[in-house]
Structure 1
Amino acid sequence: MTLDFAVRATEILLGLAFLQQSIEYLLSNRRLHLLFLARVGMCLLLISGFQTGWVLVGLAVLSLGMLYRFDGPYNGGSDRMSLLVLACLLLVHFLPESHWQELAFGYLAVQLVLSYFISGWVKIVNPAWRNGRALQDVFLYSAYPVSESLRAFAARPTLLFGASWMVMLFELIFPFSLLTQPSLIAGLLIAALFHFLNACFFGLNRFFWIWLAAYPSIIWLQGRLFGGSALLG
């Protein structure tokens, strides 16, 4: 995958992620509708490929305005990943040399890998995750919109114990998926399924779309590192 193709794929996926976030907000809240309508328009321009560099600047300005208005990220981790993807794309567009552009895009891929690995590490050092209790509590007490039928999973500790270890081990070994392209594709498919299930079970739909937007960067980085040339070469 070439850098240009990966960047363009990231722009389209980011545009779709921001579009979903903005429409979701407009449907649930009438405040600040002009801000989010402007964001919808910029997302459509970004997806279409019109003046993408300056559209990204506009989206960055709107994002800073949203940070000020909501006193920080509106939706926690998904908004932080959104800002990271947006910032890295801006650097790719406006850094003067291809070497620095590659480093900026590679940084996004490294942060994506770390997001999984660190999440796995935080879980595995927590006794509540190692014995399955943390996942059990998610179904029992979580404020996420879990239906009553799904809460029944809390009564199946053996299943949740196994699921906890599957999640932790996958997140911890995810960096090794970079060794080959087939293993990376398999790792990303599993990760996407994980985010999809979280969206279905807990309503964490924003995480699915914005993490997906960062996937082209890691596919490009794997090819750059192991496809015959080094990132710093």
Structure 2
Amino acid sequence: MTLEGAIGLTAAMMALAFVQQSAEHLRPAARRAERWLFVPRLVLSLLLFAAVAIGHAPPPVLLLALVANHVLILPFFNGPYNGGADRMSLLILLCVTATTLLPEVRWREAALGYLAIQLLLSYAIAGWVKIANPAWRGGETLRDVFLFSAYPAGENVRRLADRPRLLFAAGWAVMLFELAFPFAMLSRPALVAALVVAALFHLANACLFGLNRFFWIWLCAYPSILWLQDRVIG
């Protein structure tokens, strides 16, 4: 994957993810000020996607406008209200914007490479934090997630809390996968397989708990790590 191809694909996927995020804030019950923030985000994201879709490089003016819009959104919600999904959204936006503004190829590569490394660390560090926690190692954390989660999980999902062996095995599968993720960089087939598994993991969280933002925005960073693997290992 070429640098320009990875940047364009990341920008296009990010734009679609931003459209989905913006649409959540245009519901009839949304505050007027909230709509004034997310209507521009929706329009700018659609323009960005259209520009990339017809073969243009991501226009810096649209990306800078999205950055400015994001800066206005942060204080409105007293920070990244949706946690990791909002932080990843801003990270991808800033890295893609940097790739369009930096004058030298090596600097643009550094910006996209930084995004790829952050994606890799997001899995590896998550696995390390989990496996260092006795409650994760024993399966209690997953049981509590299904039993007491404030997320909109159905009763059928909550019944999984009564299957401790399944949750124990699932917890260890998640931890080992996240810790092993960096080793997938050694081979293109292994990396593709790891990204498919990671995407299915995010999809499962979206279906079980409604964490749809994590699914869409994490996928947006996948082209960067595919490019980095090509660039570093070939």
Query: Could you tell me how far 1:34 is from its partner in structure 2?
Result: 2.0
Which residue of the partner structure matches residue 30 of structure 2? 29
Which residue of the partner structure matches residue 160 of structure 2? 153
Query: Could you tell me how far 1:35 is from its partner in structure 2?
Result: 1.6
Query: Secondary structure of 1:120's partner?
Result: helix
Query: Could you tell me how far 1:87 is from its partner in structure 2?
Result: 0.6
Once the two structures are superposed, the pairs formed by residues 85-164 of structure 1 within 5 Å of their partners are 85-164=92-171
Equivalent pairs, count: 227
Query: Secondary structure of 1:75's partner?
Result: coil
Letter in 2 for 1:5: G
Which residue of the partner structure matches residue 55 of structure 2? none
TM-score normalised to structure 1 length: 0.95
Query: Secondary structure of 1:173's partner?
Result: helix
Runs of 4+ in 1 over 3 A off after TM superposition: none
Paired with 1:45 and 1:52, the residues of 2 have a C-alpha distance of 9
Paired with 2:81 and 2:161, the residues of 1 have a C-alpha distance of 29
Query: Could you tell me how far 1:30 is from its partner in structure 2?
Result: 3.6
Which residue of the partner structure matches residue 231 of structure 1? none
Paired with 1:29 and 1:184, the residues of 2 have a C-alpha distance of 41
Query: Could you tell me how far 1:73 is from its partner in structure 2?
Result: 0.5
Q: Please list every run of 5 or more consecutive structure 2 residues that lacks an aligned counterpart in the other structure.
A: 53-57
Which residue of the partner structure matches residue 11 of structure 2? 11
Query: Could you tell me how far 1:53 is from its partner in structure 2?
Result: 1.3
* Cα root mean square deviation, aligned: 1.0
Letter in 2 for 1:133: E
Query: Secondary structure of 2:24's partner?
Result: helix
Letter in 1 for 2:225: I
Within the alignment, does 1:224 sit opposite 2:231 as a pair? yes
Query: Could you tell me how far 1:67 is from its partner in structure 2?
Result: 0.6
Query: Could you tell me how far 1:66 is from its partner in structure 2?
Result: 0.5
Letter in 2 for 1:45: L
Deviations along 1:37-84, one digit per CA (max 9) or x if unpaired, are: 111100101101276211110100000000111110021110000000
Deviations along 1:172-224, one digit per CA (max 9) or x if unpaired, are: 00000000110000000000000000000010000000000000000000000
